[in-house]
Protein backbone atom coordinates (compact mmCIF):
# COMPACT_ATOMS: atom_id res chain seq x y z
CA UNK A 1 0.00 0.00 0.00
CA UNK A 2 2.81 2.40 0.81
CA UNK A 3 4.65 1.53 -2.38
CA UNK A 4 1.55 2.35 -4.42
CA UNK A 5 0.92 5.66 -2.67
CA UNK A 6 4.50 6.97 -2.72
CA UNK A 7 6.09 5.23 -5.68
CA UNK A 8 6.52 8.46 -7.65
CA UNK A 9 8.27 10.49 -4.90
CA UNK A 10 10.46 7.49 -4.10
CA UNK A 11 11.39 7.10 -7.78
CA UNK A 12 12.48 10.76 -7.77
CA UNK A 13 14.58 10.11 -4.66
CA UNK A 14 16.27 7.14 -6.33
CA UNK A 15 16.89 9.17 -9.49
CA UNK A 16 18.63 11.91 -7.50
CA UNK A 17 20.75 9.30 -5.73
CA UNK A 18 21.75 7.70 -9.04
CA UNK A 19 22.77 11.10 -10.42
CA UNK A 20 25.07 11.87 -7.50
CA UNK A 21 23.05 13.20 -4.55
CA UNK A 22 25.23 13.91 -1.53
CA UNK A 23 22.83 12.18 0.90
CA UNK A 24 21.47 9.03 -0.80
CA UNK A 25 20.35 7.36 2.45
CA UNK A 26 16.59 7.93 1.76
CA UNK A 27 16.96 5.82 -1.38
CA UNK A 28 17.73 2.71 0.72
CA UNK A 29 15.54 3.63 3.70
CA UNK A 30 12.79 1.11 2.76
CA UNK A 31 15.31 -1.71 3.21
CA UNK A 32 16.20 -0.54 6.71
CA UNK A 33 12.54 -0.09 7.65
CA UNK A 34 11.77 -3.64 6.53
CA UNK A 35 14.69 -4.96 8.58
CA UNK A 36 13.48 -3.14 11.70
CA UNK A 37 9.92 -4.43 11.29
CA UNK A 38 11.29 -7.98 11.36
CA UNK A 39 11.89 -7.44 15.06
CA UNK A 40 8.17 -6.84 15.67
CA UNK A 41 6.66 -10.16 14.57
CA UNK A 42 5.34 -11.10 18.02
CA UNK A 43 1.86 -10.29 19.24
CA UNK A 44 1.31 -7.15 21.34
CA UNK A 45 -0.39 -7.24 24.69
CA UNK A 46 -4.03 -6.27 25.12
CA UNK A 47 -7.25 -6.81 23.21
CA UNK A 48 -7.56 -5.58 19.66
CA UNK A 49 -10.41 -3.30 18.64
CA UNK A 50 -10.73 -3.00 14.85
CA UNK A 51 -13.21 -0.11 15.02
CA UNK A 52 -10.94 1.97 17.24
CA UNK A 53 -8.00 1.19 14.98
CA UNK A 54 -9.86 2.64 11.99
CA UNK A 55 -10.85 5.78 13.89
CA UNK A 56 -7.38 6.43 15.24
CA UNK A 57 -5.74 5.76 11.86
CA UNK A 58 -8.17 8.09 10.08
CA UNK A 59 -7.86 10.95 12.57
CA UNK A 60 -4.07 10.74 12.92
CA UNK A 61 -3.46 10.17 9.22
CA UNK A 62 -5.72 12.97 7.98
CA UNK A 63 -4.32 15.40 10.55
CA UNK A 64 -0.68 14.60 9.80
CA UNK A 65 -1.04 14.58 6.01
CA UNK A 66 -3.07 17.80 6.08
CA UNK A 67 -0.42 19.41 8.28
CA UNK A 68 2.31 18.43 5.84
CA UNK A 69 0.32 19.90 2.95
CA UNK A 70 -0.38 23.15 4.79
CA UNK A 71 3.25 23.60 5.83
CA UNK A 72 4.37 22.92 2.26
CA UNK A 73 2.27 25.88 1.11
CA UNK A 74 3.16 28.06 4.08
CA UNK A 75 6.94 27.75 3.69
CA UNK A 76 7.52 26.10 0.28
CA UNK A 77 11.28 26.65 0.12
CA UNK A 78 11.91 25.30 3.60
CA UNK A 79 9.56 22.40 2.85
CA UNK A 80 11.55 21.65 -0.29
CA UNK A 81 14.79 21.75 1.67
CA UNK A 82 13.41 19.21 4.16
CA UNK A 83 11.64 17.17 1.43
CA UNK A 84 8.62 17.59 3.67
CA UNK A 85 6.17 15.74 1.44
CA UNK A 86 8.31 12.61 1.74
CA UNK A 87 7.31 12.49 5.41
CA UNK A 88 3.88 11.43 4.20
CA UNK A 89 5.23 7.95 3.40
CA UNK A 90 5.94 6.91 7.02
CA UNK A 91 2.68 8.55 8.11
CA UNK A 92 0.68 6.53 5.58
CA UNK A 93 2.65 3.40 6.43
CA UNK A 94 1.74 3.86 10.09
CA UNK A 95 -1.93 4.28 9.19
CA UNK A 96 -1.94 1.06 7.15
CA UNK A 97 -0.19 -0.88 9.91
CA UNK A 98 -2.71 0.49 12.43
CA UNK A 99 -5.62 -0.80 10.38
CA UNK A 100 -4.06 -4.18 9.60
CA UNK A 101 -2.37 -4.99 12.92
CA UNK A 102 -3.80 -2.62 15.52
CA UNK A 103 -2.80 0.59 17.23
CA UNK A 104 -1.02 -1.27 20.05
CA UNK A 105 1.33 -2.83 17.53
CA UNK A 106 2.06 0.58 16.00
CA UNK A 107 2.71 2.28 19.34
CA UNK A 108 5.25 -0.29 20.47
CA UNK A 109 7.08 0.19 17.15
CA UNK A 110 7.91 3.80 18.08
CA UNK A 111 11.70 3.30 17.67
CA UNK A 112 11.13 2.36 14.04
CA UNK A 113 8.92 5.41 13.38
CA UNK A 114 11.49 7.69 15.01
CA UNK A 115 14.25 6.13 12.90
CA UNK A 116 12.22 6.56 9.70
CA UNK A 117 11.42 10.20 10.45
CA UNK A 118 15.11 10.94 11.09
CA UNK A 119 16.21 9.36 7.80
CA UNK A 120 13.39 10.13 5.36
CA UNK A 121 14.81 13.61 4.64
CA UNK A 122 18.36 14.05 3.31
CA UNK A 123 18.83 17.29 5.27
CA UNK A 124 19.80 15.79 8.66
CA UNK A 125 22.47 13.65 7.01
CA UNK A 126 23.69 16.65 5.00
CA UNK A 127 24.02 18.83 8.11
CA UNK A 128 25.70 16.06 10.08
CA UNK A 129 28.12 15.44 7.21
CA UNK A 130 28.89 19.16 7.04
CA UNK A 131 29.64 19.18 10.76
CA UNK A 132 32.18 16.39 10.17
CA UNK A 133 33.90 18.19 7.31
CA UNK A 134 31.69 17.34 4.34
CA UNK A 135 33.79 14.56 2.79
CA UNK A 136 32.33 11.49 1.11
CA UNK A 137 33.96 9.40 3.84
CA UNK A 138 32.07 11.31 6.53
CA UNK A 139 28.78 10.87 4.67
CA UNK A 140 29.42 7.15 4.20
CA UNK A 141 30.35 6.60 7.86
CA UNK A 142 27.17 8.33 9.01
CA UNK A 143 25.20 6.13 6.64
CA UNK A 144 26.98 3.07 8.04
CA UNK A 145 25.98 4.19 11.53
CA UNK A 146 22.35 4.37 10.42
CA UNK A 147 22.62 0.82 9.09
CA UNK A 148 24.06 -0.39 12.38
CA UNK A 149 21.23 1.28 14.32
CA UNK A 150 18.74 -0.53 12.09
CA UNK A 151 20.40 -3.85 12.95
CA UNK A 152 20.20 -3.00 16.65
CA UNK A 153 16.48 -2.23 16.36
CA UNK A 154 15.82 -5.30 14.22
CA UNK A 155 17.19 -7.62 16.92
CA UNK A 156 14.46 -6.81 19.41
CA UNK A 157 13.62 -10.50 19.94
CA UNK A 158 17.22 -11.40 20.83
CA UNK A 159 19.27 -10.73 23.99
CA UNK A 160 20.82 -7.29 24.24
CA UNK A 161 24.33 -8.71 24.06
CA UNK A 162 23.57 -10.42 20.75
CA UNK A 163 22.03 -7.26 19.38
CA UNK A 164 25.02 -5.16 20.39
CA UNK A 165 27.51 -7.61 18.87
CA UNK A 166 25.59 -7.75 15.59
CA UNK A 167 25.27 -3.95 15.35
CA UNK A 168 28.91 -3.31 16.23
CA UNK A 169 30.09 -5.99 13.81
CA UNK A 170 27.99 -4.49 11.05
CA UNK A 171 29.37 -1.02 11.71
CA UNK A 172 32.95 -2.30 11.89
CA UNK A 173 32.69 -4.09 8.55
CA UNK A 174 30.99 -1.06 7.00
CA UNK A 175 33.62 1.35 8.36
CA UNK A 176 36.48 -0.81 7.08
CA UNK A 177 34.80 -0.94 3.68
CA UNK A 178 34.39 2.84 3.61
CA UNK A 179 37.98 3.51 4.62
CA UNK A 180 39.44 0.73 2.49
CA UNK A 181 37.66 1.01 -0.87
CA UNK A 182 35.36 3.99 -0.44
CA UNK A 183 37.56 6.18 -2.61
CA UNK A 184 37.20 3.82 -5.58
CA UNK A 185 33.40 3.58 -5.42
CA UNK A 186 30.62 6.12 -5.83
CA UNK A 187 28.76 7.35 -2.77
CA UNK A 188 25.61 5.55 -3.91
CA UNK A 189 27.38 2.19 -4.20
CA UNK A 190 28.93 2.63 -0.76
CA UNK A 191 25.51 3.55 0.62
CA UNK A 192 23.94 0.41 -0.82
CA UNK A 193 26.68 -1.69 0.76
CA UNK A 194 26.73 -0.15 4.25
CA UNK A 195 23.01 0.66 4.54
CA UNK A 196 21.41 -2.27 2.73
CA UNK A 197 23.67 -5.26 2.04
CA UNK A 198 25.67 -5.45 5.28
CA UNK A 199 22.70 -4.65 7.59
CA UNK A 200 20.61 -7.28 5.79
CA UNK A 201 23.28 -9.94 6.28
CA UNK A 202 23.76 -8.95 9.93
CA UNK A 203 20.01 -9.01 10.60
CA UNK A 204 19.62 -12.38 8.89
CA UNK A 205 22.39 -13.83 11.04
CA UNK A 206 20.87 -12.31 14.19
CA UNK A 207 17.27 -13.42 13.64
CA UNK A 208 18.18 -17.00 12.80
CA UNK A 209 19.80 -17.57 16.19
CA UNK A 210 18.11 -19.90 18.67
CA UNK A 211 16.97 -17.10 21.07
CA UNK A 212 15.26 -15.26 18.22
CA UNK A 213 13.47 -18.40 16.98
CA UNK A 214 12.39 -19.33 20.49
CA UNK A 215 11.06 -15.86 21.22
CA UNK A 216 9.12 -15.81 17.96
CA UNK A 217 7.55 -19.20 18.70
CA UNK A 218 6.71 -18.29 22.27
CA UNK A 219 5.04 -14.94 21.53
CA UNK A 220 3.55 -15.68 18.12
CA UNK A 221 0.20 -14.20 17.09
CA UNK A 222 -2.61 -16.37 18.44
CA UNK A 223 -4.53 -16.28 15.18
CA UNK A 224 -3.97 -14.97 11.66
CA UNK A 225 -5.19 -11.51 10.79
CA UNK A 226 -8.46 -11.49 8.91
CA UNK A 227 -9.73 -8.41 7.11
CA UNK A 228 -12.80 -7.84 5.01
CA UNK A 229 -12.62 -7.12 1.32
CA UNK A 230 -14.25 -3.76 2.02
CA UNK A 231 -11.43 -2.75 4.40
CA UNK A 232 -8.69 -3.76 2.01
CA UNK A 233 -10.48 -2.03 -0.86
CA UNK A 234 -10.72 1.17 1.19
CA UNK A 235 -6.97 1.10 1.84
CA UNK A 236 -6.25 0.40 -1.84
CA UNK A 237 -8.45 3.29 -3.01
CA UNK A 238 -6.80 5.64 -0.52
CA UNK A 239 -3.36 4.52 -1.70
CA UNK A 240 -4.27 5.28 -5.32
CA UNK A 241 -5.67 8.68 -4.29
CA UNK A 242 -2.42 9.54 -2.52
CA UNK A 243 -0.48 8.46 -5.59
CA UNK A 244 -2.52 10.88 -7.70
CA UNK A 245 -1.77 13.66 -5.19
CA UNK A 246 1.99 13.07 -5.55
CA UNK A 247 2.77 13.87 -9.19
CA UNK A 248 6.30 13.61 -10.61
CA UNK A 249 8.66 16.49 -9.88
CA UNK A 250 9.11 18.62 -12.98
CA UNK A 251 12.79 19.05 -13.79
CA UNK A 252 14.26 20.70 -16.85
CA UNK A 253 16.16 18.32 -19.08
CA UNK A 254 19.00 20.64 -20.03
CA UNK A 255 20.68 23.83 -18.86
CA UNK A 256 21.88 26.71 -21.04
CA UNK A 257 25.49 26.23 -22.11
CA UNK A 258 27.95 29.10 -21.60
CA UNK A 259 31.76 29.30 -21.87
CA UNK A 260 33.75 28.21 -18.84
CA UNK A 261 35.53 31.60 -18.77
CA UNK A 262 32.44 33.78 -19.03
CA UNK A 263 33.49 35.80 -15.97
CA UNK A 264 36.57 36.99 -17.86
CA UNK A 265 34.31 38.77 -20.36
CA UNK A 266 32.65 40.87 -17.66
CA UNK A 267 33.67 43.64 -15.31
CA UNK A 268 33.40 41.31 -12.31
CA UNK A 269 36.57 41.35 -10.24
CA UNK A 270 38.05 40.81 -6.78
CA UNK A 271 36.92 37.18 -6.37
CA UNK A 272 36.61 35.87 -2.80
CA UNK A 273 36.09 32.14 -2.16
CA UNK A 274 33.91 30.74 0.62
CA UNK A 275 35.40 27.38 1.54
CA UNK A 276 32.50 26.31 3.76
CA UNK A 277 30.49 25.28 0.70
CA UNK A 278 32.54 22.08 0.34
CA UNK A 279 30.92 20.82 3.54
CA UNK A 280 27.50 20.90 1.86
CA UNK A 281 28.19 20.46 -1.84
CA UNK A 282 31.24 18.18 -1.89
CA UNK A 283 35.00 18.70 -1.97
CA UNK A 284 35.04 19.69 -5.65
CA UNK A 285 32.48 22.50 -5.28
CA UNK A 286 33.43 26.18 -5.10
CA UNK A 287 31.50 29.27 -4.01
CA UNK A 288 33.04 32.55 -5.19
CA UNK A 289 31.86 36.14 -4.73
CA UNK A 290 32.69 38.73 -7.38
CA UNK A 291 32.47 42.44 -6.75
CA UNK A 292 30.87 44.87 -9.18
CA UNK A 293 31.89 48.49 -9.74
CA UNK A 294 30.29 50.70 -7.10
CA UNK A 295 28.07 53.55 -8.20
CA UNK A 296 27.35 56.33 -5.69
CA UNK A 297 23.68 56.68 -4.82
CA UNK A 298 22.72 53.24 -6.15
CA UNK A 299 22.26 49.91 -4.33
CA UNK A 300 25.45 47.86 -4.06
CA UNK A 301 25.66 44.59 -5.97
CA UNK A 302 27.64 41.35 -5.81
CA UNK A 303 27.64 38.12 -7.82
CA UNK A 304 28.04 34.75 -6.05
CA UNK A 305 28.77 31.71 -8.22
CA UNK A 306 28.38 28.16 -6.93
CA UNK A 307 30.25 25.71 -9.20
CA UNK A 308 29.99 21.92 -9.01
CA UNK A 309 31.08 19.03 -11.26
CA UNK A 310 27.57 17.54 -11.48
CA UNK A 311 24.05 18.88 -11.64
CA UNK A 312 22.88 16.80 -8.68
CA UNK A 313 24.82 19.15 -6.40
CA UNK A 314 22.81 22.10 -7.67
CA UNK A 315 19.61 20.13 -7.07
CA UNK A 316 20.69 19.24 -3.52
CA UNK A 317 21.34 22.90 -2.68
CA UNK A 318 18.50 24.42 -4.72
CA UNK A 319 16.39 25.35 -1.66
CA UNK A 320 19.18 26.57 0.60
CA UNK A 321 19.05 30.26 1.52
CA UNK A 322 22.69 31.24 2.00
CA UNK A 323 21.95 34.76 3.28
CA UNK A 324 20.71 35.83 6.74
CA UNK A 325 17.05 36.60 7.34
CA UNK A 326 14.83 37.04 10.40
CA UNK A 327 11.95 35.06 8.82
CA UNK A 328 11.66 32.09 6.45
CA UNK A 329 12.46 33.23 2.91
CA UNK A 330 10.95 31.60 -0.18
CA UNK A 331 12.20 31.45 -3.75
CA UNK A 332 9.74 32.60 -6.41
CA UNK A 333 9.94 31.73 -10.08
CA UNK A 334 9.88 34.64 -12.53
CA UNK A 335 9.26 34.65 -16.27
CA UNK A 336 10.79 37.99 -17.24
CA UNK A 337 12.21 37.59 -20.76
CA UNK A 338 15.06 39.96 -19.89
CA UNK A 339 16.28 37.58 -17.16
CA UNK A 340 18.09 34.26 -17.68
CA UNK A 341 15.88 31.23 -18.22
CA UNK A 342 14.72 29.56 -15.02
CA UNK A 343 15.41 32.60 -12.85
CA UNK A 344 14.07 32.78 -9.31
CA UNK A 345 14.00 35.66 -6.85
CA UNK A 346 14.14 35.86 -3.06
CA UNK A 347 14.56 38.69 -0.61
CA UNK A 348 14.62 39.49 3.08
CA UNK A 349 11.83 41.51 4.64
CA UNK A 350 13.25 44.99 5.19
CA UNK A 351 9.82 46.22 6.37
CA UNK A 352 10.08 43.97 9.43
CA UNK A 353 13.57 45.16 10.43
CA UNK A 354 13.81 46.33 14.05
CA UNK A 355 17.35 47.72 13.91
CA UNK A 356 19.99 48.71 11.41
CA UNK A 357 22.48 46.03 12.36
CA UNK A 358 21.62 43.73 9.46
CA UNK A 359 21.85 44.32 5.73
CA UNK A 360 18.69 43.38 3.85
CA UNK A 361 19.10 41.87 0.41
CA UNK A 362 17.40 41.02 -2.87
CA UNK A 363 18.46 37.98 -4.91
CA UNK A 364 18.09 36.79 -8.50
CA UNK A 365 19.38 33.26 -9.09
CA UNK A 366 19.58 30.88 -12.04
CA UNK A 367 21.54 27.85 -13.25
CA UNK A 368 23.56 27.09 -16.34
CA UNK A 369 26.37 24.83 -17.54
CA UNK A 370 29.76 26.50 -17.90
CA UNK A 371 31.95 24.21 -19.97
CA UNK A 372 32.03 20.88 -18.14
CA UNK A 373 30.91 22.39 -14.82
CA UNK A 374 27.47 23.30 -13.52
CA UNK A 375 26.84 26.66 -11.89
CA UNK A 376 24.25 28.55 -9.90
CA UNK A 377 24.67 32.30 -10.28
CA UNK A 378 23.31 34.61 -7.57
CA UNK A 379 23.02 38.32 -8.24
CA UNK A 380 22.69 39.82 -4.76
CA UNK A 381 21.65 43.45 -4.24
CA UNK A 382 21.60 45.41 -1.02
CA UNK A 383 18.24 47.02 -0.25
CA UNK A 384 20.04 50.13 0.94
CA UNK A 385 19.33 52.75 -1.75
CA UNK A 386 22.29 54.94 -0.89
CA UNK A 387 24.90 52.26 -1.60
CA UNK A 388 26.39 52.55 1.88
CA UNK A 389 25.79 48.87 2.69
CA UNK A 390 27.22 45.90 0.82
CA UNK A 391 25.10 42.78 0.30
CA UNK A 392 25.60 40.26 3.12
CA UNK A 393 28.10 37.49 2.56
CA UNK A 394 26.90 33.88 2.20
CA UNK A 395 26.79 31.96 5.47
CA UNK A 396 26.88 28.26 6.37
CA UNK A 397 23.55 26.56 7.03
CA UNK A 398 22.76 26.56 10.74
CA UNK A 399 20.54 23.90 12.25
CA UNK A 400 18.42 26.36 14.22
CA UNK A 401 17.75 28.43 11.09
CA UNK A 402 16.20 25.48 9.28
CA UNK A 403 14.39 23.88 12.20
CA UNK A 404 13.48 25.56 15.49
CA UNK A 405 13.33 29.19 14.36
CA UNK A 406 10.99 28.56 11.40
CA UNK A 407 8.85 26.29 13.61
CA UNK A 408 8.51 29.05 16.20
CA UNK A 409 7.74 31.58 13.47
CA UNK A 410 4.92 29.40 12.13
CA UNK A 411 3.65 28.65 15.64
CA UNK A 412 3.34 32.36 16.39
CA UNK A 413 0.99 32.65 13.38
CA UNK A 414 3.00 35.43 11.79
CA UNK A 415 1.45 37.12 8.73
CA UNK A 416 2.84 35.62 5.56
CA UNK A 417 3.93 39.00 4.19
CA UNK A 418 7.33 39.01 2.52
CA UNK A 419 7.44 42.82 2.40
CA UNK A 420 8.23 45.11 -0.52
CA UNK A 421 11.48 45.77 -2.35
CA UNK A 422 12.16 49.17 -3.86
CA UNK A 423 11.85 49.22 -7.64
CA UNK A 424 15.34 50.69 -7.94
CA UNK A 425 16.85 47.65 -6.18
CA UNK A 426 14.94 45.25 -8.42
CA UNK A 427 15.83 47.15 -11.58
CA UNK A 428 19.53 47.32 -10.74
CA UNK A 429 19.75 43.61 -9.93
CA UNK A 430 17.73 42.68 -13.03
CA UNK A 431 19.95 44.83 -15.23
CA UNK A 432 23.08 43.07 -13.99
CA UNK A 433 21.49 39.63 -14.35
CA UNK A 434 20.42 40.40 -17.90
CA UNK A 435 23.87 41.79 -18.74
CA UNK A 436 25.60 38.66 -17.41
CA UNK A 437 23.29 36.40 -19.37
CA UNK A 438 23.81 38.49 -22.50
CA UNK A 439 27.58 38.47 -22.08
CA UNK A 440 27.72 34.73 -21.54
CA UNK A 441 25.40 34.12 -24.48
CA UNK A 442 27.39 36.36 -26.80
CA UNK A 443 30.61 34.69 -25.65
CA UNK A 444 29.11 31.33 -26.50
CA UNK A 445 28.43 32.65 -30.00
CA UNK A 446 31.99 33.84 -30.31
CA UNK A 447 31.43 37.53 -29.58
CA UNK A 448 32.91 39.16 -26.50
CA UNK A 449 31.15 41.91 -24.60
CA UNK A 450 31.35 43.69 -21.27
CA UNK A 451 28.63 43.56 -18.64
Query: pLDDT of 314-356, one tens digit each?
Result: 999 999 999 998 888 999 999 888 999 999 999 998 766 555 5
Among 237-241, 269-273, 295-299, 428-432, the least confident range: 295-299
Q: How confident is the model at residue 110 (pLDDT cuts 50, 70, 90)?
A: very high
What is the rounded average pLDDT of the residues 82-104? 94
Percentage of the chain beyond pLDDT 70 is 93
Q: According to the model, what pLDDT value does residue 387 have?
A: 80
Residues 123-140 pLDDT 10s: 999 999 999 999 999 999
Whether the per-residue pLDDT at 289 is higher than 90: the answer is: yes
What is the rounded average pLDDT of the residues 431-443? 85
Q: What's the predicted TM-score (pTM) here?
A: 0.91
What is the C-alpha end-to-end distance of the chain, expressed in Å?
55
Whether the per-residue pLDDT at 431 is higher than 50: the answer is: yes
Residues 183-222 pLDDT 10s: 899 999 999 999 999 999 999 999 988 888 888 878 777 6
Q: According to the model, what pLDDT value does residue 443 have?
A: 58
What is the rounded average pLDDT of the residues 1-21? 93
Q: According to the model, what pLDDT value does residue 445 have?
A: 55
Whether the per-residue pLDDT at 168 is higher than 90: the answer is: yes
Higher pLDDT, 353 or 4: 4
Q: How confident is the model at residue 446 (pLDDT cuts 50, 70, 90)?
A: very low
Residues 365-383 pLDDT 10s: 999 999 999 999 999 999 9
What is the rounded average pLDDT of the residues 88-104? 94
Residues 254-275 pLDDT 10s: 899 999 999 988 888 889 999 9
Q: According to the model, what pLDDT value does residue 357 have?
A: 61
Amino acid sequence: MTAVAYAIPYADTVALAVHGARAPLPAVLPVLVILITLGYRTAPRGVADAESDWIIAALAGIGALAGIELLSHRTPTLAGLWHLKDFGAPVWFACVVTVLFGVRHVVRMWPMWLFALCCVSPLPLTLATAALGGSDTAAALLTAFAGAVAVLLAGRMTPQAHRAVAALSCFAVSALTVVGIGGQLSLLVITVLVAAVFPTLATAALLTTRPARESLAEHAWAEPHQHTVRALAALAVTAVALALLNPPVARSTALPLVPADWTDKTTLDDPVAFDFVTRYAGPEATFVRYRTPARPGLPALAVDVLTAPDRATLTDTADIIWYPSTRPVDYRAVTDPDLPAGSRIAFSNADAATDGAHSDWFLITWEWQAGNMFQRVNVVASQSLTGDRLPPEPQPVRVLDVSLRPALWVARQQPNDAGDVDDLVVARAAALAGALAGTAGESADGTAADA
